[in-house]
Every structure is written in C-alpha cells, then in structure tokens.
Amino acid sequence: MRPYVLTIAMLGAMAAAARAAPEQQIGSWVVSCPDASRQCQMRFGKRFLDKGGITGDLEIESQGSSLVPVIALRGISSEILTAASMAGTTEASIQFPGGAREALTCNTTAAGYICAPDEAAGHILSAGLPTAKSVKIRVSVSVAGMAPLPAQEKSLDLSGTSEALARLRSVGPSPIPGALATGRAGAQSPGGLMSMADKMMKAAGYPQGVSGLEGMIAKYMAK
C-alpha cells in the first residue's frame, strides 16, 4: 500500500503547488491562486482604484455555474463599510458594447464591498463576457443628507478573456461572497440608522462621524 500512499501524497503536493502559483497575465486579465486552501481569482489587470491600501477591481467570480463580472472594493475597515452602508447608497452597473446597462447590487461582505449582478443579469453578463472587446463600469455614491458625489464611469478594453476564463475554470474560481448581516433592522428609521452609523464611526476613531464620510468617499473616488 505504501507506493500508492506516496503517489497520492505527491499528486496532492503538486496540485497545491499549482494552485499557489504566482499571478498569470492572460491578455488584459490576471489569474492568481494566493494559496492552496483558497479559490483562485481573476481580475482586470489595471486596477481602477489603488490608493492607501484600498483597491478597486473588476473581478470575475462564480455565480452557480456561471462566471460573472463584479466590482470589488477591498482594504476598507469593516467599521467604515458598515457605517457607509447604513448612511449611504451605492449604485453600480456593468455594460458591454451594444448591450443594456446591467445593475449590480452592492453589499458589505467578509471579503470587502462587492457589487454583483442578480441571477438574471448574471446570465446576460456571463454570456456576453467571453467575446466582449470592452466593458463600461459605472459607480455612483451618495450619503444621506448630502449632495450626491459625481458618478464615476470607466471604459476598459478587454483581451484574452476566453482564455482567462478557461484558466479560471480549470483552477477553481472564487464564488461571489454572501452579504454579512449588518444589524440593520427593517423597522429602523433613517434617523436611527444615521445615529448608529455616526456612533460607530466615532467609536472607531473618526471624530467627524458620518459627516466625514462624504469627504472620505470623495477622496478615493477622485480620478
């Protein structure tokens, strides 16, 4: 039995090494497998946000059997994310050439702030993704009681998408993460939510509380 055990152990080690391989550039995309215990990631090669440890990416994640584009914001503290989700509204969309603008739903998750399509929009985006030559992403943020910030819109040129998707499927894609419960009860009034968000921000060391959210968001959304 020993030879079989050794063979299985060697195959397992080889698979782990393959999954922990460094980033692979395929056309306009980057596919990476951070370590052997996590699913692999596919993102557009050029980040549309990379400031002070906060990143914003167009990523491809699995939604059931489909691979769909999502907008992922990472590196922001959970306190700010939760307070912002209580006090503000984010509208995001993805559009391929010749197609309709597909709305995304944004949620605070354990992995960051993720804007993803619902199942119907996901099927449309998944079908159009392999042959799309470009994609337009649009994000708009507003904080209650304050003037909406200018919407940010970017057009990204795509290449090598089919090959990158095939690679992602072969190594195992990351699924769209589920939303975290933020403690927001449906019975809470807008004023109550704002008060909770304000206290949370101040307790986390942001003396301006919610009133400072607009400036913080504007700082990172600025081109």
- CATH no. for residue 70? 2.60.40
Q: Please give the residue range of the domain that contains residue 151.
A: 50-160+193-221
Listed ranges 20-29, 48-57, 111-120, 201-210; the one with the highest mean pLDDT = 111-120
Distance CA 192, CA 186 (A): 11
Mean pLDDT of 154-158: 95
Asked whether residue 22 carries a pLDDT value surpassing 80, the answer given is no
36-79 pLDDT, tens digit per residue, is 656 899 999 999 878 777 788 999 999 999 999 999 988 877 66
Q: Structural domain tally of the chain?
A: 1
Task: Examine residue 85 and state whether it is found in any structural domain, yes or no.
Answer: yes
